[in-house]
Structure 1
Amino acid sequence: MNNQKKSTKLDLTVFERNGKIEFVHIIRRNKFKATKALNGFLIGLKNEASGSKETSRIIVKFISNQKISKEEEKHLKTQVYDIFKILGIGVPFMLIPGSTLLIPFIIKVAEKKGIDLIPSNFKKNKELKNSKMN
Structure 2
Amino acid sequence: MNRTNKKIRIDLTIFEKNGQKEFVQIVQKNKLRANKAMNDFFRGIKNEAVDTKETSRIILKFVATQNISKIEEKHIKTQVYDMFKILGIGVPFVFIPGATLIIPFLLKVAEKKGIDLIPSNFKAEEIDKITIKSKNNL
TM-score, normalised with respect to structure 1: 0.75
Output the CA distance in 2 between the equivalents of 1:129 and 1:55: 18
| 1:77 correspondence with 2:77 | yes
Does structure 1 retain, via aligned residues, the 8 Å contact 2:55–2:75? Answer: yes
How far off is 1:128 after superposition?
Answer: 5.8
Question: Which string of whole-angstrom CA distances, capped at 9 and with x for unpartnered residues, describes residues 64-97 of structure 1?
Answer: 1110000000000000000000001101221111
| 1:48 correspondence with 2:48 | yes
Higher relative CO (CA 8 A, sep ≥ 6), structure 1 or 2? Answer: 1
Alignment of 1:76-115 (within 5 A): 76-115=76-115
In structure 2, the gaps of 5 or more residues are 12-22, 130-138
Does structure 1 retain, via aligned residues, the 8 Å contact 2:44–2:127? Answer: no
How far off is 1:58 after superposition?
Answer: 0.5
Does structure 2 retain, via aligned residues, the 8 Å contact 1:94–1:100? Answer: no
Letter of the 1:91 counterpart:
V
Structure 1 stretches of at least 4 aligned residues deviating more than 4 Å after TM superposition: 2-5, 24-29, 128-131
Output the CA distance in 2 between the equivalents of 1:31 and 1:130: 21
| Percent of aligned pairs sharing the same letter | 64
CA RMSD of aligned residues (A): 2.9
* DSSP-derived class of the 2:8 partner: coil
Q: Which residue of 2 aligns with 1:19?
A: none
In structure 1, the gaps of 5 or more residues are 12-23
Does structure 1 retain, via aligned residues, the 8 Å contact 2:58–2:72? Answer: yes
Output the CA distance in 2 between the equivalents of 1:109 and 1:68: 37
TM-score, normalised with respect to structure 2: 0.73
Q: Which residue of 2 aligns with 1:127?
A: 125
Output the CA distance in 1 between the equivalents of 2:69 and 2:119: 23
Q: Which residue of 1 aligns with 2:67?
A: 67
Q: Which residue of 2 aligns with 1:35?
A: 35
How far off is 1:102 after superposition?
Answer: 1.4
How far off is 1:6 after superposition?
Answer: 3.6
Output the CA distance in 2 between the equivalents of 1:106 and 1:80: 21
Letter of the 2:68 counterpart:
I
